Amino acid sequence: MTTEQDHGRTTATHGSRIDAYVDRYAARATGMVASEVRALFAVASRPEVVSLAGGMPYVTALPLDAVGELVAELVADRGPVALQYGSGQGDPQLREQICEVMRLEGIEAGPDDVVVTVGSQQALDLITRIFIDPGDVILAEGPSYVGALGTFAAYQAKVVHVDMDDEGLIPEALAEAIEACARAGQRVKFLYTIPNFQNPAGVTLSAERRARVLEICRRARVLVVEDNPYGLLGFDGEPMRALRAEDPDGVVYLGSFSKTLAPGFRVGWALAPHAIRDKLILAMESAVLSHSTFAQLAVGRYLETQPWREQIKAFRELYRERRDAMLDALPKFLPEGCTWTRPAGGFFVWVTLPEGLNSKAILPRAVAARVAFVPGTGFYADGQGTRQMRLSYCYPEPDRIREGVRRLGSVIEQELEVRDTFGAGAGRHRPGVDTPGPDLA
Amino acid sequence: MTTEQDHGRTTATHGSRIDAYVDRYAARATGMVASEVRALFAVASRPEVVSLAGGMPYVTALPLDAVGELVAELVADRGPVALQYGSGQGDPQLREQICEVMRLEGIEAGPDDVVVTVGSQQALDLITRIFIDPGDVILAEGPSYVGALGTFAAYQAKVVHVDMDDEGLIPEALAEAIEACARAGQRVKFLYTIPNFQNPAGVTLSAERRARVLEICRRARVLVVEDNPYGLLGFDGEPMRALRAEDPDGVVYLGSFSKTLAPGFRVGWALAPHAIRDKLILAMESAVLSHSTFAQLAVGRYLETQPWREQIKAFRELYRERRDAMLDALPKFLPEGCTWTRPAGGFFVWVTLPEGLNSKAILPRAVAARVAFVPGTGFYADGQGTRQMRLSYCYPEPDRIREGVRRLGSVIEQELEVRDTFGAGAGRHRPGVDTPGPDLA
């Protein structure tokens, strides 16, 4: 990888490409390979391309004047604290505010049980660090968040996917997967699940299934890691009760301000049972000492001084309009045989192509036609997903979304013609997890 | 560990202390134990205690008005960028500015080879992640930075200490350690060294030895990890040339703005040969996706708009005065038989107590006498350091430093009397590395 990911910059990579250290890396580093699709996404970040690939929130909708004022006041009022090291667990006041945010999803918790992390990505990294020995099993929805799969691969976990349908994770499939692992003598360390507006599938775990998933995991003594970046971004009614709300001892809950405020502060958190929290703090200190005090206090001051609930409502309305634009455009422009999910919140739609098409093979042609998406294989650890793609509607404006889907539709049409003329040529699948760029979060 | 580290707060820890997950942690998590001395440092953070323990820079010396203005301008001018996800490698402009900073130490490098990290602690974590399999050897000065030892332990590395004297790492001892590892069939992955104003020993690797250390490592194909947070904080003359300046292919250089600007942004970096840099970026993305764009751009704007070289000079003068206060007080107040190093920069003095005394056993009495230090054993992976302690002069004002050393002197006097009356009772040593709190950085 060179610097393609620095959008708008291209710098020649100088020097030799021979890796003098190739015989000295750790075993875990062999799984660290740059995604094949990275270079394409560099092209996809050009303004003429409609990117339905990225998971970037629309931060332009924030009250930037107010944010500018509050960070200036933060330095004026509390500069020597904001610019100093902080505790590994995170700012105490922010942790109290985080508890207030989680209360919207039925969670009763104290600030002692919260650990502030560098985005919820770091919480994922730390929880994997303290639980996973090479070869241990993590259960995850199929498909699942590409960034989680990358982290799990970095710790040499074996990911076993559990099927979903329109109501989310299928409890019977979960129970079967746990039993199969037990029969095979495999240690299941935790279930990783995104219950709300799942990334990438866009589906939500129904209330009835939540109880059953928790019961199955409790009986099998399988910890649940509930990753919930989108829970407050539902388009209909009140937020659902978190899994953590029903089972404080069996669930580690991961939250984030990246989608409800802004990713630029990189403030996320883990809420964990006491013993796990203790280990998380030690792992946090070993990893980064502590998160940026400045970033934490800026988020805290935002929550303290700004109408954050109303801002989340504004985000919901904005993303709902974009979701509608996409769901409106898909049947118009995508050829027969394509199917997709209907998210009730969050950022993503999961599209399944007609048989014989391969989304990764289509991507270069789509980018040439000035539209980008993320191919489905990145969201599986086992090579599934060749016929799927993730479309995001969070960042482009509605007209651009429609235009993007139109362009995508005609690319797929052409692929179908090629398929019908020459037969299905399923593209090669390279094993291993595609590490995501940050903008694919 | 409870919330003692939240200075000034005490919250009852509720719920059961039994760890239901004790049989499920990863092997690496068994080494993650809270330091015995943590609770003491909570007490030590009370205002009546002179803390010679922490490594917190004196950020109050910064031009806070200017910092407040520049963060407000950052949001006004570049809000949608500063609040968004950034690239895993870090902001391109900041990476160019980092190259300019490194040029002060003779380093010629391009921004392509820099990876911005969450403090240099994260750079340490990532470099360990990509190189260390359990049991691999890391060579490190004895004593060495407690935070590095904690990270190395978290990856189950075996740390082999190499002796130092007043000119830093002893090349002959390094060569012998490498040969001994080779004879024992152990894989040495890298030498971890802090060449300037070492933490905790306060000594500096001489120019003549730098060439020899590099030559020894080059011949043995041992990568050098040069950790250099204090290099620009020398009290005499120009900064020394970095090891990296002499050997771009054999050295990974770690830098930080925590001591030259402020730790509150948590902006550090690694400069690495191309192949290693590629792996570092992937590891970075897997760990946290990307660092806070806001924090990075704030540091970048500070470097762009403020007289940062003059600020570093002001820090140097400030710390030099404090170093002088400490070196002046030590012979006055410490009893005969105590010895110490004489740092020419940085934050720390390393004190050796008379035989029969144990610094960890003394700490509670010192804290009762309202002075704190860090016991020496934390800076070794193998139980050495019982007679040593680290004293820092970076944070308290000169009069407080003198008063702290006076208090420490009388505590040591009393200990000597006890020793002479009852005989030496060397305290127990608990194996394992004390994980540092962030304020012990």
pLDDT in tens, A384-413: 999 999 999 999 999 999 999 999 999 999
Phi, psi (rounded to 5 degrees) for A83? -95, 0
What is the pLDDT at residue A390?
97
Chain B contact for A119, CB < 8 A? yes
Instruction: Please state, in angstroms and rounded to a whole number, the distance separating the CA atoms of residues B254 and B256.
Output: 7
pLDDT digits (tens, 9 = 90+) for A281-326: 999 999 999 999 999 999 999 999 999 999 999 999 999 999 999 9
Judged against a pLDDT cut of 90, whether residue A351 lies above it is answered with yes
Judged against a pLDDT cut of 90, whether residue A218 lies above it is answered with yes
What is the pLDDT at residue B440?
59
Tell me the shortest Cα–Cα distance from A42 to chain B, in angstroms: 11
Q: Which residue has the higher pLDDT, A417 or B30?
A: A417
Which chain A residues are Cβ-neighbours of B132 within 8 angstroms?
26
Chain A contact for B285, CB < 8 A? yes
Instruction: Please state, in angstroms and rounded to a whole number, the distance separating the CA atoms of residues A191 and B359.
Output: 46
Give me the torsion for CA of B307, B311, B243, A17, rounded to 10°.
-40
Task: Spell out the SS3 assignment of chain B.
Answer: CCCCCCCCCCCCCCCCCCCCCCCCCCHHHHHCCECCCHHHHHHHCCCCCEECCCCCCCHHHCCHHHHHHHHHHHHHHHHHHHCCCCCCCCCHHHHHHHHHHHHCCCCCCCHHHEEEEEHHHHHHHHHHHHHCCCCCEEEEEECCCHHHHHHHHHCCCEEEEEEEECCEECHHHHHHHHHHHHHCCCCEEEEEECCCCCCCCCCCCCHHHHHHHHHHHHHCCCEEEEECCCCCCECCCCCCCCHHHHCCCCEEEEEECCCCCCHHHCEEEEECCHHHHHHHHHHHHHHHCCCCHHHHHHHHHHHHHCCHHHHHHHHHHHHHHHHHHHHHHHHHHCCCCCEECCCCECCEEEEECCCCCCHHHHHHHHHHCCEECEEHHHHCCCCCCCCEEEEECCCCCHHHHHHHHHHHHHHHHHHHHHHHHHCCCCCCCCCCCCECCHHHC
Exposed/middle/buried for residue B185 (C-beta within 10 Å: 0-12, 13-18, 19+): exposed
Considering only CB atoms, B282 lies closest to which of A13, A32, A65, namely A32
Instruction: Please state, in angstroms and rounded to a whole number, the distance separating the CA atoms of residues B223 and B221.
Output: 6
pLDDT digits (tens, 9 = 90+) for B350-376: 999 999 999 999 999 999 999 999 999
Q: Do B27 and A62 touch (CB under 8 A)?
A: no
Label residue B14 by pLDDT band (50, 70, 90): very low
Tell me the shortest Cα–Cα distance from A287 to chain B, in angstroms: 5
What is the pLDDT at residue B72?
97
CB within 8 Å of A106: residues ≥ 6 apart: A241, A242, A245
Label residue A437 by pLDDT band (50, 70, 90): low
Enumerate the domain spans of chain B: 31-61+310-421, 64-305
Instruction: Please state, in angstroms and rounded to a whole number, the distance separating the CA atoms of residues B253 and B103.
Output: 13
Q: Which of B11, B21, B30, B280 best tests the A interface by mutation, with the highest count of A CBs <10 A?
A: B21
Instruction: Please state, in angstroms and rounded to a whole number, the distance separating the CA atoms of residues A201 and A188.
Output: 23
Instruction: Please state, in angstroms and rounded to a whole number, the distance separating the CA atoms of residues A232 and A247.
Output: 20
Measured N-to-C along each axis, helices B207-219 and B171-183 cross at an angle, to the nearest 10 degrees, of 20
What is the pLDDT at residue A34?
74
What is the pLDDT at residue B7?
36
Q: What is the mean pLDDT of chain A?
A: 92
What is the pLDDT at residue B426?
44
Instruction: Please state, in angstroms and rounded to a whole number, the distance separating the CA atoms of residues A211 and B272.
Output: 49
Q: Do B435 and A282 touch (CB under 8 A)?
A: yes
What is the pLDDT at residue A438?
58
Chain B contact for A82, CB < 8 A? yes
Poorest-pLDDT segment among A80-84, B28-32, B33-37? B33-37
Q: Which of B83, B156, B256 best tests the A interface by mutation, with the highest count of A CBs <10 A?
A: B83
What is the pLDDT at residue A41?
76
Beta bridge partners of B392: B348
Chain B contact for A11, CB < 8 A? yes
What is the pLDDT at residue A13?
42
What is the pLDDT at residue B2?
35
The pLDDT > 70 percentage for chain A reads: 92
Q: Provide the CA A320 distance to its chain's centre, in angstroms.
A: 19
* CA-closest candidate to residue B1, choices A249, A250, A280: A280
* CA-closest candidate to residue B141, choices B346, B379, B385, B431: B379
Q: What is the mean pLDDT of chain B?
A: 92
The pLDDT > 90 percentage for chain B reads: 85
Tell me the shortest Cα–Cα distance from B209 to chain A, in angstroms: 25
* CA-closest candidate to residue B254, choices B349, B151, B133, B158: B151
Q: Do B6 and A279 touch (CB under 8 A)?
A: no
Task: Spell out the SS3 assignment of chain A.
Answer: CCCCCCCCCCCCCCCCCCCCCCCCCCHHHHHCCECCCHHHHHHHCCCCCEECCCCCCCHHHCCHHHHHHHHHHHHHHHHHHHCCCCCCCCCHHHHHHHHHHHHCCCCCCCHHHEEEEEHHHHHHHHHHHHHCCCCCEEEEEECCCHHHHHHHHHCCCEEEEEEEECCEECHHHHHHHHHHHHHCCCCEEEEEECCCCCCCCCCCCCHHHHHHHHHHHHHCCCEEEEECCCCCCECCCCCCCCHHHHCCCCEEEEEECCCCCCHHHCEEEEECCHHHHHHHHHHHHHHHCCCCHHHHHHHHHHHHHCCHHHHHHHHHHHHHHHHHHHHHHHHHHCCCCCEECCCCECCEEEEECCCCCCHHHHHHHHHHCCEECEEHHHHCCCCCCCCEEEEECCCCCHHHHHHHHHHHHHHHHHHHHHHHHHCCCCCCCCCCCCECCHHHC
CATH of domain A64-305: 3.40.640.10
* Strands B339-340, B348-352: pairing kind: antiparallel
- Which amino acid is located at B268 in the chain? G
* CA-closest candidate to residue A10, choices A52, A48, A50, A39: A39
Q: Which residue on chain A is closest to B117 by alpha carbon?
A: A288
User: Are B285 and A436 contacting, i.e. CB atoms less than 8 angstroms apart?
Assistant: yes
Instruction: At B80, list the tokens.
Output: 């949608």
Judged against a pLDDT cut of 70, whether residue B437 lies above it is answered with no
What is the pLDDT at residue A79?
97
Q: Do B438 and A87 touch (CB under 8 A)?
A: yes
pLDDT digits (tens, 9 = 90+) for B231-240: 999 999 899 9
Chain A contact for B136, CB < 8 A? yes
Tell me the shortest Cα–Cα distance from A187 to chain B, in angstroms: 9
Judged against a pLDDT cut of 50, whether residue A439 lies above it is answered with yes
Cis omega before residue A200 (within 30°)? yes
Label residue A131 by pLDDT band (50, 70, 90): very high
Instruction: Please state, in angstroms and rounded to a whole number, the distance separating the CA atoms of residues A292 and A310.
Output: 26
Considering only CB atoms, A26 lies closest to which of B88, B131, B439, namely B131
Q: Do B288 and A5 touch (CB under 8 A)?
A: no
Query: Please, which residues 168-207 of chain B have a Cβ atom closer than 8 Å to chain A?
Result: 187, 189
Tell me the shortest Cα–Cα distance from A71 to chain B, in angstroms: 6
Judged against a pLDDT cut of 80, whether residue A43 lies above it is answered with no
- Which amino acid is located at A408 in the chain? L
**Mean pLDDT value across residues B205-210:** 97
**Mean pLDDT value across residues A352-378:** 95
What is the pLDDT at residue A240?
97
Q: Which residue has the tokens 């989340």?
A: A312
Give the torsion sign (CA, A14, A20, A21, A23): positive
Q: Which residue has the higher pLDDT, B9 or A407?
A: A407
Q: Do B112 and A16 touch (CB under 8 A)?
A: no
* CA-closest candidate to residue A171, choices A132, A131, A224, A240: A224
Cis omega before residue A229 (within 30°)? no
What is the pLDDT at residue A425?
60
Instruction: At A346, list the tokens.
Output: 């969050």
Chain B contact for A130, CB < 8 A? yes
Judged against a pLDDT cut of 50, whether residue B123 lies above it is answered with yes
Chain A contact for B328, CB < 8 A? no
Q: Do B85 and A293 touch (CB under 8 A)?
A: no
Q: Which residue on chain A is closest to B290 by alpha carbon?
A: A438
Q: Which of B218, B222, B266, B301 best tests the A interface by mutation, with the highest count of A CBs <10 A?
A: B266
What is the pLDDT at residue B341?
98
Judged against a pLDDT cut of 60, whether residue B432 lies above it is answered with no
CB within 8 Å of A273: residues ≥ 6 apart: A113, A248, A249, A250, A252, B20, B21
* CA-closest candidate to residue B433, choices B229, B144, B203, B194: B144
Instruction: Please state, in angstroms and rounded to a whole number, the distance separating the CA atoms of residues B415 and B424.
Output: 10
What is the pLDDT at residue B131?
98
Q: Which residue on chain A is closest to B8 by alpha carbon?
A: A92
Q: Do B282 and A26 touch (CB under 8 A)?
A: no
Across A83-99, b (16+ Cβ under 10 Å) vs e yields bbbbbbbbbbbbbebbb
pLDDT digits (tens, 9 = 90+) for B33-63: 777 667 777 777 788 999 999 889 999 999 9
Label residue B381 by pLDDT band (50, 70, 90): very high
Label residue B438 by pLDDT band (50, 70, 90): low
What is the pLDDT at residue B36?
64
Considering only CB atoms, B59 lies closest to which of A19, A84, A289, namely A84
Model ipTM value: 0.93
Across A281-311, b (16+ Cβ under 10 Å) vs e yields bbbbbbbbbbbbbbbbbbbbbbbeebebeeb
Task: Work out how many CB contacts closer than 8 A connect A with B.
Answer: 347
Query: Please, which residues 257-276 of chain B have a Cβ atom closer than 8 Å to chain A?
Result: 258, 262-266, 273-276
pLDDT digits (tens, 9 = 90+) for A268-279: 999 999 999 999
Q: What is the C-alpha end-to-end distance of chain A, expressed in Å?
A: 19
Instruction: Please state, in angstroms and rounded to a whole number, the distance separating the CA atoms of residues A49 and A438.
Output: 18
Instruction: Please state, in angstroms and rounded to a whole number, the distance separating the CA atoms of residues B69 and B60.
Output: 16
Judged against a pLDDT cut of 90, whether residue B82 lies above it is answered with yes
pLDDT digits (tens, 9 = 90+) for B311-351: 999 999 999 999 999 999 999 999 999 999 999 999 999 99
Judged against a pLDDT cut of 80, whether residue A434 lies above it is answered with no
Label residue B439 by pLDDT band (50, 70, 90): low
User: Are B56 and B394 contacting, i.e. CB atoms less than 8 angstroms apart?
Assistant: yes
* CA-closest candidate to residue B173, choices B185, B183, B163, B161: B163
**Mean pLDDT value across residues A66-88:** 96
Give the torsion sign (CA, B70, B72, B78, B82): positive
CATH topology for the A31-61+310-421 domain: Aspartate Aminotransferase, domain 1 (3.90.1150)
